[in-house]
Structure 1
Amino acid sequence: MTNDLKDSFSGAGAGTGAGPGPGTGGDAPPAPAALAAKVRTLAPSMTRSMQRVAEAVAGDPAGCAALTVTGLAELTGTSEATVVRTSRLLGYPGYRDLRLALAGLAAQQESGRAPAVTADIAVDDPMADVVTKLAHDEQQTLADTAAALDTVQLGAAVAALAGARRVDIYGVGASGLVAQDLAQKLLRIGLVAHAHSDPHLAVTNAVQLRSGDVAIAISHSGSTGDIIEPLRVAFDHGATTVAITGRPDGPVSQYADHILTTSTARESELRPAAMSSRTSQLLVVDCLFIGVMQRTYESAAPALAASYEALAHRHSPRTR
């Protein structure tokens, strides 16, 4: 993504060209606890100058909260306009609102309720440190995703799934594994669900969808063409569409009736985005599954029990 294109996402109300999609927030600034998650999620799509501002506020919220907009611009080697644009991209009307959130985040970290950012995994880290750092990042990713997840959008997606005639789920790479996980969960409680990682099959199946069906796209970047195209086709044919993405302002959102935002740990050389995004995607998938189970319990519980019994019978010792 070029800097010019990145800058197009930095203004107030920036989106995909069709305006902000549902479930993207924007009505109220993020709570202090969600600020760090927003920085981690959005930093990769920012310009380098905006990243410097974001990294500064995430790394030293107390210090930055004490700075004026001019002071933060000087600290990061950027401009006041860049500081304001970064504030708006993070969900705050202006820098004053961001400073208030930074002060709140600093207070939480001081009290121990918000963990400080830890160092990335290094090539020469002992295995004990690798385990500790990975566990911290996984826990933080789950906490960030839970804090940012729009439960209204989640409830609407659950309602659509619970009454769906058919569910198609699109994902490639690591997201494809998450798509398969959701499909097999839904199948075990009696829903007709299929995961598609082949883009051609995904589109040809999407053509068959209609009102009463559900299509789910899973894409951390929100810009994977092989995922966007089948979701667009499903949207155009009247299906209810859901996007599970770490970039709610990405192109996938313009074809999504409901957007479920995921968070991710900081990407590093030894921990790529695909690896860290999978954790948050699986949390959202599990939330969808439990929600559907609750809504369809009378039919879902017997179906799940039957699947357990069938599997247990398959793996039991054969009798002569």
Structure 2
Amino acid sequence: MAIRPNLSVNHEPGGLIVHIGGLLPSLSPAEQRVARLVVADPADAARRTITDLATAAGTSEATVIRFCRSVGMDGYPQLRIRLAAEAARRVVPPDARVVGGDIPAGADLAQIIATIAFSDARAVEETAQQLDPAVCGKVVDAIVGAGRIDVYGAGASGLVAADFQQKLHRIGRTAFCFPDVHAALASAALSGRGDLAIGISHTGATAEVVEVLAQARARGATTAVLTNFPRSPVTAFADHVLTTAARETTYRSGPTVSRVAQLTVVDCLFVAVAARNRPRARKALEATAEAIRSRRTGSARRRP
């Protein structure tokens, strides 16, 4: 199967730390250790010499230099300058006990609430900062012009896919979501030019999403993906790549804060699509709202 090059991948519009976090899975294990130190405390990393950082990461100075190049820096001096600037503009948690978004053992409920609220808010803010309006515009164009829209996701991302499909359907777009992988593959096999396939995967490595997007692309459909990692496997089959900026906390792997970030992007796309034809969208929303009004307790009795 021929793989076309990605046509639209974000390049660090939302800050260096978000950029490094997105590249983390594509780095070598030794480079990942450096990356985690940098992401956890950019101010501390900026103060360290290259020898200090290499020692703290349990690796060599050569690995630190390779890490710098992997994330787009010319060398360690440039990385230190960028990290210092990043640290200066970082948002400080309102609760001083919230450090790095992690929930320590023995945390009380107030700390848990503060940590989760801060992590979710940060995911939304950083996702919005790094979201490329030009790429979003291309995806919106594809949605508006598509004869059929298939949205694919698995697990928690499948819930986001279903939410997106419902939103699009309620403004009159022909959209489908397939929670069953066999049905998804069958749908992708029947797609073609003029159709749009959208994959949603936090890791970008979910086999089901990768497979259906590859199938849709092979059939000539336009493809788009929403992922947290711009170098993940699924991006090889995407014409348009949108990224989130979600960093998980203790007890909150993939299915939690990542979903908040994904829903933020979905809402941006949905509103942009609706805004392209406000009369049509408004009429569709009114019609669907009226259709379900009687299903709400007490609604029928209140109507004249």
Under a length normalisation based on structure 2, what TM-score does the superposition of the two structures give? 0.88
Contact 1:172 1:197 in 2 (8 A): yes
Q: Who is 2:167 aligned against?
A: 185
The verdict on how the C-alpha distance between 1:137 and 1:44 changes in structure 2, with shifts beyond 3 A counting, is farther
Q: Who is 2:218 aligned against?
A: 236
Question: Once superposed, what is the RMSD of the aligned Cα atoms?
Answer: 2.6
Distance 1:22 1:176 in 2: 25
The verdict on how the C-alpha distance between 1:252 and 1:193 changes in structure 2, with shifts beyond 3 A counting, is same
1:97 to partner: Cα distance = 2.6
Q: Who is 1:43 aligned against?
A: 24
Secondary structure class of the residue paired with 1:243: strand
> Is 2:6 the counterpart of 1:25?
no
1:44 to partner: Cα distance = 4.9
Q: Deviations over 1:143-190 (max 9, x none)?
A: 121122121111100011011111001111001000000000000000
The verdict on how the C-alpha distance between 1:135 and 1:157 changes in structure 2, with shifts beyond 3 A counting, is same
> Is 2:220 the counterpart of 1:204?
no
Distance 1:314 1:54 in 2: 52
Q: Who is 2:300 aligned against?
A: 317
Q: Who is 2:58 aligned against?
A: 77
The verdict on how the C-alpha distance between 1:57 and 1:203 changes in structure 2, with shifts beyond 3 A counting, is same
> Is 2:124 the counterpart of 1:142?
yes
Distance 2:237 2:57 in 1: 37
Contact 1:49 1:78 in 2 (8 A): yes
Distance 1:150 1:80 in 2: 34
Distance 2:121 2:276 in 1: 28
Secondary structure class of the residue paired with 1:190: coil
In the alignment, structure 1 segments of 5+ residues that lack a partner are: 1-16
Find runs of 4+ consecutive structure 1 residues off by over 4 angstroms: 17-20, 110-113
Aligned length: 297
1:288 to partner: Cα distance = 0.9
Q: Give 1:218's aligned amino acid.
A: I
The verdict on how the C-alpha distance between 1:193 and 1:84 changes in structure 2, with shifts beyond 3 A counting, is same
The verdict on how the C-alpha distance between 1:241 and 1:91 changes in structure 2, with shifts beyond 3 A counting, is same
1:226 to partner: Cα distance = 0.8
Distance 2:99 2:4 in 1: 33
Q: Who is 2:263 aligned against?
A: 282
Distance 2:178 2:162 in 1: 8
Distance 1:100 1:166 in 2: 48
Under a length normalisation based on structure 1, what TM-score does the superposition of the two structures give? 0.84
Distance 2:194 2:274 in 1: 18
Q: Deviations over 1:288-311 (max 9, x none)?
A: 101101112221111111111212
